[in-house]
Structure 1
Amino acid sequence: MELELELELDTSSTMAKEPKEPPPPAAAAQPKPKYELRPVEKVKDPIISQIGDFRRYQLFFFLIVVLCKFGTGWHTLAHIFLAAPTPLKCLTPNVTDACSKDCKQTEFNTTVFKTTIITQWDLICDRQSLASLSQSIVMLGIMVGGMSFGMIADRWGRRPAFLLCCFMQLFTGLIVCASPFFWFYCLFRFLVAVATGGTMTVSFVLLMEIIGPKKRELIGILYQIPFNIGHASLSLFAFYIREWRWFQFSVTIFSVVFVIYIWLVPESPRWLFTTGRVDKSVKVLERIARHNRAPTDTIRPEIEAAHQVLASRQPTKKGNVIDLFRTPYMRLKTICMANDWLVVCMVYYGTAQYIAKLGGDIFLNVLIAALLGIPGTLLCVVLTKYLGRKMTMMLSNGLSACGLLLLVFLHKSKQIVQVMCATLGLFGASITFPNVYLYGAELFPTVVRSNGMGLCSMVGRIGGLVAPMICELDVYGAWITPLVFGVFSVLAMLGTIFLPETRGTPLPETLEDGESFGRKSPKEQS
């Protein structure tokens, strides 16, 4: 009995010394999350259903990608000051015409610009047309770049195409500064323009593919404002930098900031999803969702299910330019949208140049013409939101037509009246310009969106290419130039009638979507 009692005492004392077991995990206090998750509204678009319509990440992405738009304005319109008018006078006694055979000695008036490409390579008299040719080469480069980089983006991805054109713009732009002769200058200005055309197209597609329909029109239009600011700031650069090589360097060196894109610009999750790279698309979407404080646990199953539905409708296929013309309705929409691009580039660049030719201070003229695009862009935001893309396109082209055709009948009136009419035409084009980007990006399906935007950009550059030639027609009659621009504006207005409204609708994904998109009413599509 004593032994049993001792064992019981030992056992009880041992039990008393043993530490108490921790409470079960279920009863443990859960750590508070760093932030509260915000559910995402589920819509028909599988990409927007995971990351939201427009949240923190989309705003951040917009702010960094928008930096490249300043360069597009600088490089596209730098010719205004690279080849600025430089008066030439003859030093031979009793000879006033500097281009006559009797003139043995000439001199440039460098009181405004110390050097330009005109003074550098004597682009005067019978060589005068070479200056305009160099700008036509730039427009050709933008046309080639928009098309070629659009194809690269659709075939190999948005990110590699975007990075390539950004760094190509930087390196070729710096080489232009050291051009030893004219044709070398033209070659590398062409390559800069190729990169610029690619930047215009691919950056816009990258942005539009992660923004939902609620904010798409606002962001798509505001994205064009840096182009206007870049255009306007050329006057400031040129006012303080009067030598063309340093002027070219100043508008190029900014591209060094593009190095941040290596780390901050991911591949488009929509492109990855549409081309069958579901796993990579999920990883990008999860990262964006975490930035947007959205749930991530349902992304993979929902994206995989959505891709199965997409694959059952149509096998994964990488599109090309020919696909834009295979089916009748897609062909009609492509032609009409390309026509809108042709006209707006022709009217915008041509009228801006025409205003500068009407006389006055070149710095002030360029500044006013460029700043005019900002209120036009802001007005486009309101019009596209409440009237839709189609009606806004028709009204803005009609406004350009009214101003330019009015100028046909008032070409002999006071200079201020002519400038006001031309300014009205330019203001209409400044409303149209952001709208064609937005409208086109919403019209083409994902598999050929970059190809479609690249094609339209290419056709638009044809309009920009011929615009200087149209401006030269004023030597045969001051009314001819505004007449041509006005008639083309009317044609663009009429062609827009055949396009469907895209406001508030999901982006078409496949070629099948592209053909059927617009045959239904906007309410049925959404």
Structure 2
Amino acid sequence: MTSLSGRCIVRTSVLHISHENLVDSKREEAFDLVRRYGDTPRPYQSPKKVDKRLRALESRRLIAPTVSRLPVHAEVNGKQVLNGKEDVGENADEEVDAVQEAIGNLGRWQIYVCLAISLVKFPIAWHQLAIVFMAPHQDYNCTSPAGVQTPDHCAANVSGVLADCTKWEYDRSTFTETIISQWNLVCSRTHYANIQQSVLMFGVLLGNIIFGNLADRYGRKMPLMVSVILQLASGIGCAVVPWFPALLLMKFFSALATGGTMVTSYVICMEIVGTQWRAAITVLYQIPFSLGHMSLAGLAFLFRHWRHLQIAITLPSVILLSYWYIVPESPRWLLAFGKQRAACKILQKGANINKIKNKDIPEMVRQHCLHQNSKRSHLDHKASFLDLFRTPNMRIKSLSIFFNWIVCGMGLFGMSQYIGQVGGNIFVNFTVSGAIQIPGNFVAWWAMNKLGRKITLICSNSIAGIAGLLLVVVSNDIEWLRLILVCTAIVGMSVSFTTVYLFSGELFPTVVRNIGVGTSSMCARIGSISAPFVVSLVSYGLLMTLLCS
């Protein structure tokens, strides 16, 4: 609000749109829509000009039709005025957030729940990265037919006739049995191991979509429990199946469950903490994944047979069954679906643990529901995927973000898998690559707050790209330098992943934010699906690391 020379000057960033026009009645929403969709207004404009711009958005069906002249807040000689009338209702349009009012922004209850839910990140990391130890690079020799072998050990010269090999002997000095040695995934069958990892990443993609929809319809807790049980059952199935196609099927179901635990657990955490803590929780929530990354090397060191390792990364999910008693249903979901009594019960428990007293939680819940009902409009059902590309400004933003997510998915999982081919001790290399991601998470937090999202994203991508390019020219004999470069690229990609996640949520307008972030996550899975095949190009001498730039 600004007063200049005694005249009424209206600032568009404090427009207040009526409930019939926008879902979000906050004062910044109108300006946000105008700015985000490419019609950026000047700092100060008259209500008539802003009204004209908003009606242009109506014609594109980006906001609901106006039914009355826009009420505009202005400041005249230091007083709040609404269309020429003083705004005497100071809290008339103030949103009542019953969850934050009842339990606070961050207390002991939220910390307990978030810590418990963070345990799910361990099996998420184990199942997504286990291919490094289940299908590592393994030397082999052709044993049948006997003869002079070709350099690739895929054929043998028998009496002047070149015959394909049918049996191989594998180097079992590091791993007693792998997926590769179990089903002879070498020579013409090499790509089958990559297919297994791509099937897993595709399952994660579908799991995000399926369990995300189930979480919106049936609550957060029940889909989380279903995904935990499915992860446990399918993980054990992977360890006992006798056929490779059956393994692919079990891996697919395991990936569905992994995708389900990812999306539901994160949503529960975000919906119980205050808005000012969500960025911090998002960053800290990545630390258990890094710890899972590190611990996977220890498990693989103890269990050198891939079936034993599969059981070792699956059985800890039994502990997650305790979520039925520990993890509450999201109070925000309960309020959104009118289950006020259940929401009050959970909020009262949280308030007691956080030692927040003298709060009339039932009354706060009633006021919250009344406020939310007053904000409902038919706009809730009009946002679509096409809105992400409806204007030039949104097209540029959407395509740029989507491409960044593809690069993050391909770079992070591709480099994590490639570290098994760097040379040296695979267990040490993998542990180091996971350990350095932990300080990387704190660097991401500091950089986003100090430098901003955009600069942090550019710098992290550039660091990962430069490290990837240097891998092309560094000799394979300098193993320590190649390990440093791979770890640097992994840290850069992890910082980029964290940054682009938060940046996407802030960049997309409110009305299409869920669609935008959901589509972005799908793009990351597309990158991770292609990562195993990109890594396999190194065997052909191609510049795999170029894709990280």
Q: TM-score, normalised by structure 1?
A: 0.76
2:149 aligns with: 95
Alignment pair present for 1:344 and 2:398:
no
Task: Provide Cα deviations, 1:377-418, integer angstroms capped at 9, x if missing partner.
Answer: 121222234344444333322322333344456579955444
- Higher-Rg structure is 1
**Shift in CA distance, 364/429, structure 1 to aligned 2, threshold 3 Å:** same
Q: 2:127 and 2:419 mapped to 1: Cα distance?
A: 20
Q: 2:204 and 2:251 mapped to 1: Cα distance?
A: 10
Task: Provide Cα deviations, 1:256-276, integer angstroms capped at 9, x if missing partner.
Answer: 011111111121112222344
Shift of 1:120: 1.4
Shift of 1:208: 0.8
Q: Which among 85, 88, 105 is matched to residue 53 of structure 1?
A: 105
1:144 aligns with: 206
Alignment pair present for 1:73 and 2:125:
yes
**Shift in CA distance, 405/117, structure 1 to aligned 2, threshold 3 Å:** closer
1:32 aligns with: none
SS of the residue 1:286 aligns to: helix
**Shift in CA distance, 268/429, structure 1 to aligned 2, threshold 3 Å:** same
Whether the 8 Å contact between 2:232 and 2:318 is mirrored in structure 1 is yes
2:43 aligns with: none
Structure 2: 5+ residue stretches without partners: 1-93, 158-164
Q: 1:435 and 1:295 mapped to 2: Cα distance?
A: 37
SS of the residue 1:112 aligns to: coil
1:419-434, aligned counterparts within 5 Å? Answer: 419-434=483-498
Q: Which among 372, 386, 408 is matched to residue 310 of structure 1?
A: 372
**Shift in CA distance, 410/362, structure 1 to aligned 2, threshold 3 Å:** closer
Whether the 8 Å contact between 1:400 and 1:425 is mirrored in structure 2 is yes
Whether the 8 Å contact between 1:225 and 1:377 is mirrored in structure 2 is yes
**Shift in CA distance, 317/104, structure 1 to aligned 2, threshold 3 Å:** closer
1:281 aligns with: 343
Higher strand share: 2
Whether the 8 Å contact between 1:154 and 1:450 is mirrored in structure 2 is no
Q: 1:281 and 1:448 mapped to 2: Cα distance?
A: 27
Alignment pair present for 1:243 and 2:274:
no
Whether the 8 Å contact between 1:346 and 1:464 is mirrored in structure 2 is yes
Shift of 1:101: 4.2
Shift of 1:437: 4.3
Task: Provide Cα deviations, 1:336-365, integer angstroms capped at 9, x if missing partner.
Answer: 544333221111111222333232222222
* Structure 2 counterpart of 1:185, one-letter code: L
Shift of 1:485: 1.6
Q: Which among 111, 116, 122 is matched to residue 64 of structure 1?
A: 116
Q: 2:379 and 2:365 mapped to 1: Cα distance?
A: 18
Alignment pair present for 1:213 and 2:268:
no
Q: Which among 330, 349, 355 is matched to residue 419 of structure 2?
A: 355
1:500 aligns with: none
Task: Provide Cα deviations, 1:89-136, integer angstroms capped at 9, x if missing partner.
Answer: 134354365310445753222221111111211212211211111111
**Bigger mean CA offset, 355-364 vs 332-341:** 332-341
Shift of 1:443: 6.5
1:484 aligns with: 547
Q: TM-score, normalised by structure 2?
A: 0.73
2:44 aligns with: none
Q: Which among 404, 427, 430 is matched to residue 366 of structure 1?
A: 430
* Structure 1 counterpart of 2:536, one-letter code: E
Structure 1: 5+ residue stretches without partners: 1-41, 487-526
Higher helix share: 1
Whether the 8 Å contact between 1:142 and 1:197 is mirrored in structure 2 is yes
1:378 aligns with: 442
1:402 aligns with: 466
1:104-253, aligned counterparts within 5 Å? Answer: 106-253=168-315
Number of aligned residue pairs: give it: 444
**Bigger mean CA offset, 73-82 vs 150-159:** 150-159
Whether the 8 Å contact between 2:97 and 2:368 is mirrored in structure 1 is no
Whether the 8 Å contact between 1:321 and 1:452 is mirrored in structure 2 is no
Q: 2:208 and 2:463 mapped to 1: Cα distance?
A: 28
Whether the 8 Å contact between 1:201 and 1:454 is mirrored in structure 2 is no
Task: Provide Cα deviations, 1:228-267, integer angstroms capped at 9, x if missing partner.
Answer: 1111212111111111111100000000011111111121
CA RMSD of aligned residues (A): 3.0
Task: Provide Cα deviations, 1:296-326, integer angstroms capped at 9, x if missing partner.
Answer: 6422223322322222222499879946847
Task: Provide Cα deviations, 1:142-197, integer angstroms capped at 9, x if missing partner.
Answer: 11111111111122221122111111111111111111100000000111011101
Identity %: 35
2:357 aligns with: 295
Whether the 8 Å contact between 1:149 and 1:454 is mirrored in structure 2 is no
* Structure 2 counterpart of 1:284, one-letter code: I
